[in-house]
Amino acid sequence: MDAIRRLAQEHTEVTRRYLLQLGAAGAAGLSVSRLWAQQGGDADALLAEAVSRLEYLTREENFRNAGRGKPKPHTLPAAKLREVGLSRETWWLEILPDPQSNAQLERPLSRASGTALDFAGLMKLAETRAVRFMSVMSCTNGREPFGMGLWEGVPMRDVVWLARPTSNVRRVFYYGYHNEDKEQRFQSSLPIGRVLEDPPGEHPVILCYKLNNEWLTPKRGGPVRVIVPEEYGNRSVKWLQRIMLTNSFKANDTYAEWNNDTVSHLKTCARFIHTPEKMKAGELAAITGVAQVGMSGLSKVQHWLHLQGEPLPDDDPYFAKGQWKDAEVLPAPEQWGGGLPDGKLPPVPRQFDATGKPRQWPLRNTIVHWAALLRAPRPGKYELRCRTIDANGIAQPMPRPFPKSGHNVIQTVQIVVQS
């Protein structure tokens, strides 16, 4: 299933509630599944079936996967996973000084000296240090989010302090398991400052061992992966086994070698999920989508229906002057999906109060669903576009022809309006 289909599944129930509230479907005596069914195409069955489910969080098995390797580490047989330290029973983590630099650690954690951290040690830290938060997994080069997760882990700083770094540390390099082959290595890095402190409202960089309140699977990078809450997925190295403290100030990220920017905060952007291929002139149609709430926050989602052939604003490649209309950003769901029993959240005190209400909405570095009703006055071929307005009032995407620090374009779909 492609990413947008999965999001569609997760998103249908919130949309249904929105439409019922609006009365658009209810008043016409039209069930929502029939409303969708009028669209034709193979989305129908999917939508009808998904209508009863609320899935804000993505189920583990529905995440899009980006683990590289030959073989991909998560496909190794269980015995091999155990052998190479990728089970909770056998996991180990080394924290070493970068041999290429003069970083000083009083107590490196190494396998050779028998001091590597094991999973029991991580769980010991978790007793007092564990944090849980929602953040969206998106790829720098992906059009749609890979999945919306509720992650649990121990702040990386608590683990770094175990090694007692004393001087000459500017950056943290970290590595996953890649079949013991240098060529296959996927690595990332962060400035030590980001690991040690979090800006207000931001979550710590964590060594994550649970997704949606279940142990992290091998596919998701288990037993332990990094989650960097505010950045694209390439920072969130899976199958973590080694952290290296260095005095280098340079990023050594695999993603940099692959022609991407490395400081890659999530961008605020909108995508369509459901749009009709055809609609009738003068009649209402529902459109829905998902928005990613990135670094600049989100205040609005907008759409713009434009009759093909009508003049477009001059010298306006980013459509800043289009006839944009506000869509409705949908409220927090009551059931969170993601495979949580009854869709109920475990305590998430960083983002939700004691009654389970989000402290703000939307939450930063997550997604929101949105919906709108369209009416086209006359027949013809139309172009429908969507964009976001960030929390600073700036339209996103900004003019940005180079996607190296995160994909973001104004999405356009075609709609045929019949008489």
| Chain residues in the site for ligand MTE (CB under 6 A) | 63-68, 137, 139, 146-147, 176, 186, 220-221, 233-234, 236-239
How far apart, in whole angstroms, are the C-alpha atoms of residue 231 and residue 221?
17
352 binds, among Mo ion, ligand MTE, none (CB under 5 to 8 A by kind): none
Torsion over CA: 112, 115, 120, 122 (sign):
negative
Minimum gap (Å) between residue 142 Cβ and Mo ion = 7
Nearer to ligand MTE, 173 or 319 (CB): 173
30 binds, among Mo ion, ligand MTE, none (CB under 5 to 8 A by kind): none
Q: How many residues bind Mo ion (CB under 5 A)?
A: 4
Minimum gap (Å) between residue 254 Cβ and Mo ion = 10
User: What strands lie across the sheet with 284-292, from one edge to the other?
Assistant: 269-274, 284-292, 367-375, 328-329
Residue 111, class by beta-carbon neighbours within 10 Å (0-12 exposed, 13-18 middle, 19+ buried)?
Answer: middle
Say which DSSP state 105 is in.
E
Q: Kindly tell me which residue out of 147, 153, 155, 233 binds Mo ion, with binding defined by CB under 5 A.
A: 233
Minimum gap (Å) between residue 58 Cβ and Mo ion = 16
Nearer to ligand MTE, 36 or 175 (CB): 175
Residue 259, class by beta-carbon neighbours within 10 Å (0-12 exposed, 13-18 middle, 19+ buried)?
Answer: exposed
Q: Kindly tell me which residue out of 19, 84, 139, 285 binds Mo ion, with binding defined by CB under 5 A.
A: 139
How far apart, in whole angstroms, are the C-alpha atoms of residue 184 and residue 368?
35
80 binds, among Mo ion, ligand MTE, none (CB under 5 to 8 A by kind): none
- Residue of 72, 98, 44, 22 whose CA lies nearest to 286: 22
Say which DSSP state 327 is in.
-
Nearer to ligand MTE, 122 or 137 (CB): 137
Residue 141, class by beta-carbon neighbours within 10 Å (0-12 exposed, 13-18 middle, 19+ buried)?
Answer: middle
65 binds, among ligand MTE, Mo ion, none (CB under 5 to 8 A by kind): ligand MTE
Mapped onto helix, strand or coil, the DSSP state of residue 312 is coil
- Residue of 237, 290, 244 whose CA lies nearest to 262: 237
Mapped onto helix, strand or coil, the DSSP state of residue 263 is coil
336 binds, among Mo ion, ligand MTE, none (CB under 5 to 8 A by kind): none
Name the residue whose CB lies closest to ligand MTE: 233
302 binds, among ligand MTE, Mo ion, none (CB under 5 to 8 A by kind): none
Minimum gap (Å) between residue 129 Cβ and ligand MTE = 23
Nearer to ligand MTE, 147 or 343 (CB): 147
Left if phi > 0, otherwise alpha if psi is -120 to 50, otherwise beta: which for 380? left
Nearer to ligand MTE, 63 or 119 (CB): 63
* Strand spans (E) along 87-234: 92-97, 104-105, 117-118, 131-137, 147-155, 165-167, 171-176, 187-191, 206-211, 214-215, 225-227
Nearer to ligand MTE, 188 or 275 (CB): 188
Nearer to ligand MTE, 56 or 146 (CB): 146
Minimum gap (Å) between residue 233 Cβ and Mo ion = 5
Minimum gap (Å) between residue 139 Cβ and Mo ion = 3
Minimum gap (Å) between residue 232 Cβ and Mo ion = 6
Q: Kindly tell me which residue out of 234, 260, 275, 388 binds Mo ion, with binding defined by CB under 5 A.
A: 234
- Residue of 203, 171, 187, 212 whose CA lies nearest to 363: 203
How far apart, in whole angstroms, are the C-alpha atoms of residue 298 and residue 289?
14
Minimum gap (Å) between residue 318 Cβ and ligand MTE = 26
Minimum gap (Å) between residue 280 Cβ and ligand MTE = 40
Question: What residue ranges bind Mo ion (CB under 5 A)?
Answer: 66, 139, 233-234
